[in-house]
Homo-oligomer: A and B are copies of this chain.
Amino acid sequence: MFSIIPREMVFYDLFEKGASNAHKGAKALLELLDNYEDVHEKVKKIKDIEHAGDDLTHEILERLNKTFITPFDREDIHELASRIDDVIDLIDVAASRMALYKIEKPTEDARLLARCLVHATAIIEETVPLLRKSKNLQTVLQRGREVHTQENEADRIEQHALASLFENSHDPRDIIKWKDVYQDLEAATDRCEDVCNVLEGIMLKNA
Chain A residues packing against B (C-beta within 8 Å): 61, 64-65, 74-75, 78, 82, 96, 100-102, 137-138, 141, 159, 162-163, 166, 172-173, 175-177, 179, 197, 200-201, 204-205, 207
Q: Is the CB of A197 within 8 A of B137?
A: no
B176 touches A175 (CB 8 A): yes
- In the complex, the count of this chain's copies comes to 3
Chain B residues closer than 8 Å to A141, beta-carbon distance:
61, 65
Contact of A204 among B75, B172, B201, B204 (CB under 8 A): B75
**Residue among B75, B101, B138 making CB contact with A205, cutoff 8 Å:** B75
Contact B65–A100 (Cβ < 8 Å)? no
Contact of A175 among B78, B173, B201 (CB under 8 A): B173
Contact B162 A172 (CB under 8 A): no
Q: Is the CB of A166 within 8 A of B102?
A: yes
Knowing A61-B141, A141-B65 are in contact, say whether A75-B201 is a contact too (CB < 8 A).
yes
* A163-B74 in contact given A137-B65, A173-B172 (Cβ < 8 Å): no
Please pick, from B75, B96, B138, B204, the residue contacting A78 in the complex, using a CB distance under 8 A.
Answer: B204
Alpha-carbon gap, A61 to B176, bound state (A) = 38
B-side contacts of A102, CB under 8 Å: 166
Cβ B173 vs Cβ A176 within 8 A: no
Bound form: Cα–Cα A64–B204 in Å: 8
How close is A150's CB to chain B, nearest CB, in angstroms? 16
Closest to A172 in B: B172
Which chain B residues lie closer than 8 Å to A179 at the CB level? 176
CB-CB < 8 A to A176: which residues of B? 172, 175-176, 179
Tell me the bound Cα distance from A141 to B78 in angstroms.
Answer: 12
- The distance from the CB of A96 to the nearest CB of chain B, in whole angstroms, is 7
